[in-house]
């Protein structure tokens, strides 16, 4: 059996709740985040941003700013080489406008000065002449015949005829005979749904400290979900070899996908290169909203057929997503996940991405899936109402399970959807009584989860303690989980292990902290690194005992002689082997590098009770329960935390959060006052039920848990509101005016 396959075993440390190694620093204010460090001679950067949604840049005059003695460097798009690979070119073009402003807040000129105040004063002295162009910020406007072309030459070659030049990407998934499937249905419902763009809303704005020397070497400190990817992007953009740029990830104040790319880092490096001094660059909250990477907004048409006993006979969806002024691949996971929770004989999804005058989309927790599954789960709910069927029973009847050919192609292995649905059905929440103006909604959710390139190094210190070095920023407890897996595998107490996050030059490549991959893939590599160290420790014991190394086994943190020729030696503890290691061959370590496959797909079910005030349209969430398959919950606290956090973000998305643009194409709510994320008094307790259906592709059975939890809330809440007011809601967010209008339209 391959080492990375799940093996049932009794755990000593996995599943307990250990203290996180970064805990004390984070409750005492000592932890250092992106904006928390300084360097001798440091300059402060500021960015002039365009006040137009779409405009040609006719001229830029920075001479008056450059005349200020405090100004040490000025950077425009002209400072960067052109003709990079498409993706990387888009990254830098999204940071700083080349010849055309593509969205409100698009960077135009960056300045480095000796103080923040001087940098701000300098920005006011820059003169930019714009030729304002017609814009399109909404999907329908950008798709319309005669729509302004956001970027010429970007039309996708797979996009069918009849779509304009703003359409950059197209995809189709599915199987079976749709016509035959719909013919078997007793009822077919077709609906169209809209979701607004939302922002990840991490509380820490992007921040970095860049230092380039005249020898061409650079150091970059930044808050990021992936220091290696930052290095790859910045090295290409600046034109340097990767080994010359060391990127260190700070503690990170939230990311949720939004810190998987760069927005300021190459600008800060270029300013530092030109000034010959370190440059600190931080974004304001206004800049974060305007010029980082919110989600796509979406329009999704769904058509589903069902028999009167609740069997889905066919499902079809057409997704239109906009991901800002650049091509965007989020339609792929959207179209793949739309029907992923169902076992269907006839299913088809098609999707098109259209460019608009909005910032370039970045990932946000299960990117593309929440809006697609919201649309599908809304129609399934309406069909349940139509036939008077229990919505959980209908899910149980149609749920994907082991052996199901998924709606996007692969056949599922062991998955936890049925177990999750059964847990929801058995939970007291599902049958609790409801009062007037109250309703209950539910929805399933799905996410793929990823593995990816991973490197881990594990060192056995001479005193018998363990140092683990990994390369993925710790967003919500990964260091503690990785320490626990190392301790479990080695058979040592948890407090003997300390895990740190390395910079790019201290460890091999690690992909970005995304796809819920860290506990799965870094965990896998940590377990294998521990096994490598165990192998070496057994060899050392064999040397001491002068027996064959095959005659030594590892048990409970000790090397023990085994087999007929091993002799009767006292077991040697890890600490004893470590202490003797200078005399038995030198330091002991284990390491593992892998492009991890075998990530296990993850399913969840959310139950939501809420009350709608019929006079104001205001919705109060009364009770919320999350059921999710974690595969194996390494540290249950942080698994619950992911389930609760995703639910809270989904609640915000469903009820309140949206990017609001004016007729002028400018963002009208670029701040936490007007883009209001849920606060403590908006939410009830969020209960969690962790299911553990082991992922066959991980030695401890781990699946990712970070993303699935944001998928179900959209439909769970919309279904609850729709059932409460007796009108099928088809647009998010369901802010009070929209709910009030729906109530009035129905004459209720």
Stretch touching another protein by CB under 8 A, among 14-22, 77-85, 173-181, 405-413: 14-22
32 lies in the site for another protein, by CB under 8 A:
yes
26 makes contact with another protein (CB under 8 A): yes
Give CA–CA dist 443/648, Å, rounded: 15
Distance of closest approach, residue 263 Cβ to another protein, in angstroms: 17
Q: Which of 19, 213, 567, 726 binds another protein (CB under 8 A)?
A: 19
Residue closer to another protein (CB basis): 35 or 418: 35
With residue 109 as reference, give the H or E element that holds it. Answer: strand 107-113
Distance CA 658, CA 295 (A): 10
Q: How far is CA 302 from the centre of its chain?
A: 26
CB of 583 to another protein, least distance (A): 37
Minimum gap (Å) between residue 705 Cβ and another protein: 12
* 592 versus 635: smaller Cβ distance to another protein: 635
Stretch of 212-220, 278-286, 342-350, 536-544 contacting another protein, by CB under 8 A: 278-286
Phi then psi dihedrals of residue 220, to 5 deg: -135, 125
> Collapsing DSSP states into helix, strand and coil, what is residue 183?
helix
If the CB atoms of residues 370 and 665 are measured against another protein, the closer one turns out to be 370
Binding another protein (rule: CB under 8 A), the pick from 138, 219, 236, 251 is 251
Give long-range contacts, CB 8 A cutoff, 24+ apart: 3-7: 3/527, 3/528, 3/531, 3/699, 4/524, 4/528, 4/596, 4/598, 4/697, 4/698, 4/699, 5/598, 5/696, 5/697, 5/699, 6/694, 6/695, 6/696, 6/697, 6/698, 6/699, 6/700, 6/701, 7/699
204 binds another protein (CB under 8 A): yes
Nearest one of 723, 50, 719, 742 to 373, comparing CA atoms: 719
Provide CB contacts within 8 A for 124, sequence distance 6+: none
Q: Which stretch binds another protein (CB under 8 A): 149-157, 195-203, 353-361, 542-550?
A: 195-203
* Of 42 and 396, CB closest to another protein: 42
* Contact set for another protein, span 479-498 (CB under 8 A): none
How far apart CA 393 and CA 386 sit, in angstroms, is 14
Q: Is residue 51 a contact residue for another protein (CB under 8 A)?
A: no
- Which position among 105, 201, 452, 561 is part of the footprint of another protein (CB under 8 A)? 201
Taking a C-beta distance cutoff of 8 angstroms, is the pair 2, 239 a contact? no
Residues touching another protein, count (CB under 8 A): 58
Q: Which stretch binds another protein (CB under 8 A): 25-33, 64-72, 187-195, 490-498?
A: 25-33
Q: Which residues, numbered 114-143, are part of the site for another protein (CB under 8 A)?
A: 116-117
By CB under 8 A, name the one of 1, 8, 29, 564 that touches another protein: 29
Asked if 686 touches another protein (CB under 8 A), the answer is: yes
Q: Is the peptide bond before 733 cis (omega within 30 degrees of 0)?
A: yes
**CB within 8 Å of 564: residues ≥ 6 apart:** none
Instruction: Output the DSSP codes for 240-286.
Output: --GGGEEEEE-B-S--TTTTSS-SSHHHHHHHHHHHTS-EEEE--HH
Q: Of 174-182, 281-289, 404-412, 565-573, which part binds another protein (CB under 8 A)?
A: 281-289
**SS3 track for 540-566:** HHHHHHCCCHHHEEEECCEEEECCCCC
Cβ proximity to another protein: between 84 and 683 the closer is: 683
Query: Can residue 294 be called a binding residue for another protein (CB under 8 A)?
Result: no
Of 340 and 647, which has the nearer Cβ to another protein?
Answer: 647
Among 22, 343, 488, 511, binds another protein (CB under 8 A): 22
Q: Catalog residues that contact another protein under the rule CB under 8 A.
A: 17, 19-20, 22-33, 35-36, 116-117, 200-205, 251-256, 282, 284-285, 475-477, 637-638, 640-641, 644-645, 647-649, 671-673, 677-683, 685-686
């Amino acid at each position: 059996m391959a080492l990375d396959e799940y093996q049932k075993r009794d755990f000593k440390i996995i599943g307990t709740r250990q203290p996180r190694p970064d805990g004390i620093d984070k409750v005492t204010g000592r932890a250092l985040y992106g904006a928390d460090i300084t360097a001798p001679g440091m300059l402060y950067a500021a960015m002039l941003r365009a006040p137009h949604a779409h405009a040609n840049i006719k001229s830029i005059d920075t001479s008056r700013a450059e005349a200020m003695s405090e100004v040490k460097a000025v950077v425009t798009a002209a400072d960067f080489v052109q003709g990079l690979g498409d993706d990387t070119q888009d990254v830098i073009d999204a940071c700083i406008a080349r010849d055309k402003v593509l969205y409100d807040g698009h960077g135009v000129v960056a300045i480095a000065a000796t103080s923040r105040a001087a940098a701000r004063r300098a920005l006011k002295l820059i003169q930019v002449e714009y030729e304002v162009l017609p814009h399109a910020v909404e999907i329908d406007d950008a798709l319309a015949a005669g729509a302004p072309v956001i970027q010429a030459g970007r039309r996708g070659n797979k996009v069918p005829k009849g779509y304009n030049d703003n359409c950059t990407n197209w995809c189709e998934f599915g199987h079976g005979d749709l016509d035959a499937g719909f013919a078997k249905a007793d009822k077919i419902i077709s609906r169209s749904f809209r979701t607004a763009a939302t922002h990840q809303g991490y509380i820490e704005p992007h921040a970095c400290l860049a230092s380039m020397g005249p020898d061409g070497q650079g150091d970059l400190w930044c808050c990021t979900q992936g220091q290696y990817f930052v290095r790859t992007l910045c090295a290409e953009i600046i034109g340097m070899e990767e080994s010359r740029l060391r990127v260190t990830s700070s503690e990170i104040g939230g990311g949720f996908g939004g810190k998987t790319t760069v927005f300021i880092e190459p600008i800060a490096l270029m300013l530092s290169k030109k000034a010959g001094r370190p440059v600190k660059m931080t974004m304001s909250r206004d800049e974060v909203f305007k010029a980082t990477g919110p989600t796509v907004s979406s329009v999704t048409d769904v058509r589903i057929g069902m028999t009167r006993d609740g069997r889905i006979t066919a499902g079809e969806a057409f997704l239109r997503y906009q991901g800002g002024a650049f091509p965007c691949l989020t339609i792929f996971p959207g179209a793949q996940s739309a029907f992923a929770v169902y076992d269907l004989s006839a299913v088809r999804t098609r999707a098109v991405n259209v460019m608009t005058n909005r910032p370039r989309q970045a990932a946000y927790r299960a990117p593309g899936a929440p809006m697609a599954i919201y649309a599908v789960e809304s129609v399934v709910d309406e069909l349940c109402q139509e036939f008077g069927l229990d919505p959980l029973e209908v899910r149980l009847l149609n749920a994907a399970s082991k052996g199901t050919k998924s709606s996007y192609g692969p056949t599922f292995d062991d998955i936890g959807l049925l177990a999750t649905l059964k847990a929801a059905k058995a939970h007291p929440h599902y049958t609790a009584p409801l009062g007037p103006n109250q309703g209950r909604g539910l929805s399933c959710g799905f996410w793929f989860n990823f593995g990816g390139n991973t490197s881990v190094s594990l060192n056995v210190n001479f005193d018998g303690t363990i140092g683990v070095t990994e390369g993925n920023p710790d967003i919500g407890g990964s260091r503690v989980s990785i320490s626990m897996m190392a301790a479990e595998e080695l058979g040592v107490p948890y407090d003997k292990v300390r895990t740190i996050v390395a910079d790019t030059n201290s460890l091999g490549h690690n992909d970005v902290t995304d796809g819920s991959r860290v506990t799965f893939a870094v965990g896998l590599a940590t377990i294998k690194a521990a096994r490598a160290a165990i192998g070496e420790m057994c060899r050392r014991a064999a040397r001491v005992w002068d027996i064959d190394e095959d005659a030594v086994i590892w048990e409970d943190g000790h090397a023990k002689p085994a087999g007929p020729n091993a002799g009767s030696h006292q077991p040697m503890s890890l600490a004893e082997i470590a202490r003797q290691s200078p005399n038995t061959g030198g330091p002991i370590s284990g390491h593992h590098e892998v492009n991890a496959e075998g990530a296990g797909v993850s399913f969840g079910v959310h139950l939501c009770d809420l009350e709608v005030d019929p006079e104001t349209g205001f919705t109060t969430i009364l009770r919320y329960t999350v059921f999710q398959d974690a595969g194996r919950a390494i540290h249950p606290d942080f698994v619950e935390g992911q389930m609760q956090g995703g639910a809270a973000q989904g609640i915000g998305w469903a009820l309140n959060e949206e990017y609001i643009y004016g007729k002028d194409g400018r963002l009208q709510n670029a701040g936490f006052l007007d883009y209001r994320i849920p606060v403590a008094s908006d939410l009830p307790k969020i209960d969690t039920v962790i299911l553990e259906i082991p992922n066959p592709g991980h030695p401890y059975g781990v699946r990712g848990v970070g993303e699935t939890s944001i998928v179900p809330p959209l439909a769970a809440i919309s279904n609850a509101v729709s059932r409460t007011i007796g009108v099928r809601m088809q647009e998010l967010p369901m802010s009070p005016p929209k709910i009030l209008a729906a109530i009035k339209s129905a004459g209720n």
